[in-house]
A and B are shown apart, each in its own frame.
Chain A
Amino acid sequence: MGSVAIRRPDPAIRLLSAGAGLVHSAVLLDSGLEHYRGSFRNPAMLLPLATSTVNIAIDGTRLVTGCSTPDSSLRVAGQGGAVAVGLIGMGFHLFNIGKRPSGFGWGNLFHAAPLGAPAALVLAGALGAAADRAHASIISDGRAVGALCAAGIVGTAAEAALLHFRGAFQNPAMWLPVAVPPIAAAALAANAVVRRAQPTTAALLIVTAALGFAGAAFHAYGVSRRMGGWRNWRQNILAGPPLPAPAAFTGLAVAGLGALILIGRVRG
């Protein structure tokens, strides 16, 4: 990479950093809870906690400075580690699903290790790496990052669709993360294609980011509807809807806003 670190704080970098850091935070909490629930039976179940923690530090630092650091081997190691652990995790989860009776049938997609979850680590690692190269040629036009965020939002919505289907969409609000974020993702992808940042896209991304927070609140309500409610939090946080999961929408939408700024700059 021949690019030089830019010392002036850049809001696009800040948004990308905040987004990547949020997704890493969601991964840390979600994998922490779920792997604790799985008793960390395989020591590799600790890896996503370690890599996401390292990357929260990296992305947090960059959020404060607002500046890229493309040449830090420490950061390359952290971000590469996140991508690698995410990919390995997807493999582990695939194996976990496939070894059960009926393989990739609905029951195992619902209840076995979630296929999409480790992908968030891949995405967040890549977003962090992109934030550190925001002024490199393939990143600076925002199109690749925008496409990445759009794909991540669609994937996250797909996971929400699968798990909310598991919950039989028993609360109509469960349709929101399935219905709204893909529209934002489509708008972001379209903006990346035509190299134009539209205010409606920004608005849709802000709504998606807000949905992430609303989702956490809804999930807290969901925990209250299980036997014993919040008084029985030690069981219900594990058995109920995952509190940290919706934050992935917020992270990806915030990073998407960063990408949108980059896209908007091309036309100046």
Chain B
Amino acid sequence: MSSGAVMPLEPRAKDGRAPDVFVPGGWTPMGEHRDTEAVDFAIVGTGAGGGTLACRLAEAGFSVVAFDAGAYWRPLEDFASDERHQSKLYWNDDRIVEGANPLKLGANNSGKSVGGSTVHYAMVALRFRPEWFKSRSLLGYGADWPIDWREMWSYYAEVEQALAIAGPVTYPWGPKRPRYPRRAHPLNAPAALLARGAEALGIGWSETPIATLSSPRGKARPCVYRGMCTIGCSTNAKQSVLNTWLPRALAAGAEIRDLAMVGRVETDARGMATGVHYQRGGEWRFQRARNVVVAGYAIETPRLLLNSASPLFPDGLANSSGLVGRNLMVQLNQAVWGQMEQEVRSYKAPPSLALTEHWNYEDRGKDYHGGWCYMSQGPLPIGWAQTVAGGRRMWGQSLVDEMNRANHSVGLKMVGEVMPSPDNRVTLANEVDAYGLPIPRISFSYGDNEHAMLAHALPFMEQALEAVGAHELWREEEDTCHLNGTARMGDDPATSVVNADCRSWDIPNLWICDGSVFPTVGGANPSLTIQAIACRTADRIAAMGKRGEL
């Protein structure tokens, strides 16, 4: 570990029990499997993809062991209102970043916890625009998904129910969707300013559909608007994989192994996966499995597949197309900030309570491909100091002065679609990490399309802030968020890594189920789509199991 963050020394989920996330010091029973027992599914990763899939497969009757390199936290007792301490939730292991726009990895694009990055995500729960699933055919860019949007629409509804999403009574964009299970939260000041700005510019806005409770749910309490969401919610109001899908997974008999780093997927002479090598409690072990699911997100997934090369698969597993690690897509996360006369106190309540998807659904007036939305913002103090120090080159007294008026700062931040490019990719470096595994090398550069989108988005967001009387506007031009691609799904083994069911073309019992499979990334936060894909994959696997096709 290079982060120096506070981690429990010992795994918690063992001896027939796992932490009960709703009770300080609490435990809940957990089924266990021996390493020598070939379980139906060994799942690598317990985030939006792996955690959701573990739940749904266990509920379908399969034996499941899910591994996570991170710790099994109880939010009520393990999370502090302290940005530095909570960096323990990020994947801060060594990586090499390069390219024209090297990525800043950690807070808003990784997670190292049971529950993955959903433990500290901003909870924004957006559906894709339907056309994005056929962006090549309908919009002329990127690649088509092998899945119809109408099928996704029903899985989105399932995930929205599972997470008790709090959203507006009617959503202004896209085809009809069922009512959100919970009502939207009240707007905080920055959200109200976004709304006023949108109204002044004549575009639509909405309360953001968001995965934090607006009314009680079982043992989870409604949101108390502390605003610490992105460093881990300590009240369980946030509906993460950790406190929604995983308690269900445990109840259905799944086993979760925390602090268990999978280093290699083993394959046999027939070219089938046989299990996973993992390190836990200081020793390497091997779990046998009939199927292996890789769900480590868009860096760790290709890293594991490439690290698992064998004589039969010298270029890494599932890589006959040569696309493993390619087409890495982040999302543009640039912002515009300004100062208001009145107090704003942006950090109160969840950070993104209002948004506009206007430019996700409006294609006229664009000289670029893809969509983007923008949301209200609520930076926490240290994050804000870093933003100001980095973005405005402030230091010393000027930084202190700026921080002293942070209560009057307001911002709008975009989530913008990045085009898939084979040159943006994850490969292996020669250096090894503390586990002895080659570390990933991540190369990323913007293309012309990204620059054209920014040239439209940043002035537009400036207009929206000017319209509400913000002054001293400045641009935060460097941030990105989320990671997708690197193992895209498709209809053709030559141009994709997995099929629509997240099953790898090359190895029938190897599956990939996380944001890596996205052929395109859209202008919306990916977590809802990842979970919807996982639900669909579980249903497809259950159907194949019934037909004896596994």
A168 touches B187 (CB 8 A): no
The docked-state distance in angstroms from the alpha carbon of A227 to that of B215 is: 11
- What interface size band does chain B fall in? 20 to 34
B192 touches A227 (CB 8 A): no
Q: Which A residues fall within an 8 A CB radius of B?
A: 100-102, 106-107, 110-111, 165-168, 170, 222, 225-227, 235, 239
**Extra inter-chain contacts (13) besides given A110-B183, A110-B186, A168-B182, CB under 8 Å:** A101-B195, A101-B199, A106-B183, A107-B186, A107-B187, A107-B207, A111-B186, A168-B183, A168-B214, A170-B216, A225-B216, A227-B235, A227-B237
A167 touches B183 (CB 8 A): yes
Contact with A along B126-139 (1 / 0, CB 8 A): 00000000000000
* Cβ-neighbour of A226 out of B181, B184, B222 (below 8 A): B222
Dominant SS at the B interface?
loop
Q: How many A-B residue pairs have CB under 8 A?
A: 54
Tell whether B322 is near chain A: CB-to-CB under 8 Å: no
Q: How far is the CB of A244 from chain B (nearest CB, A)?
A: 20
Residue of A102, A106, A222 most packed against chain B (CB within 10 A): A102
Contact with A along B203-233 (1 / 0, CB 8 A): 0010100000011110001101000000000
**Whose C-beta in chain A lies nearest to the C-beta of B166?**
A168
| 20 A-B interface contacts by CB (under 8 A) | A101-B187, A101-B192, A101-B199, A102-B195, A102-B199, A106-B169, A106-B183, A106-B184, A107-B207, A165-B183, A166-B183, A167-B215, A168-B215, A225-B216, A226-B222, A226-B224, A227-B221, A227-B224, A235-B224, A239-B224
B residues 271-323 near A (Cβ < 8 Å) are: none
Q: Which B residues fall within an 8 A CB radius of A?
A: 168-169, 181-184, 186-187, 192, 195-196, 199, 205, 207, 214-217, 221-222, 224, 235, 237
A100 touches B216 (CB 8 A): no
The docked-state distance in angstroms from the alpha carbon of A222 to that of B221 is: 10
**Whose C-beta in chain A lies nearest to the C-beta of B205?**
A101
A107 touches B168 (CB 8 A): yes
Q: How far is the CB of B170 from chain A (nearest CB, A)?
A: 8
**Whose C-beta in chain A lies nearest to the C-beta of B181?**
A168
Residue of A100, A107, A167, A239 most packed against chain B (CB within 10 A): A107
The docked-state distance in angstroms from the alpha carbon of A192 to that of B207 is: 45
B207 touches A226 (CB 8 A): no
**Whose C-beta in chain B lies nearest to the C-beta of A101?**
B195
The docked-state distance in angstroms from the alpha carbon of A171 to that of B222 is: 14
B216 touches A106 (CB 8 A): no
Chain B residues closer than 8 Å to A111, beta-carbon distance: 186-187
A226 touches B221 (CB 8 A): yes
Chain A residues closer than 8 Å to B215, beta-carbon distance: 166-168, 170
Q: How far is the CB of A73 from chain B (nearest CB, A)?
A: 44
The docked-state distance in angstroms from the alpha carbon of A110 to that of B186 is: 8
A222 touches B186 (CB 8 A): no
Chain B residues closer than 8 Å to A226, beta-carbon distance: 216, 221-222, 224
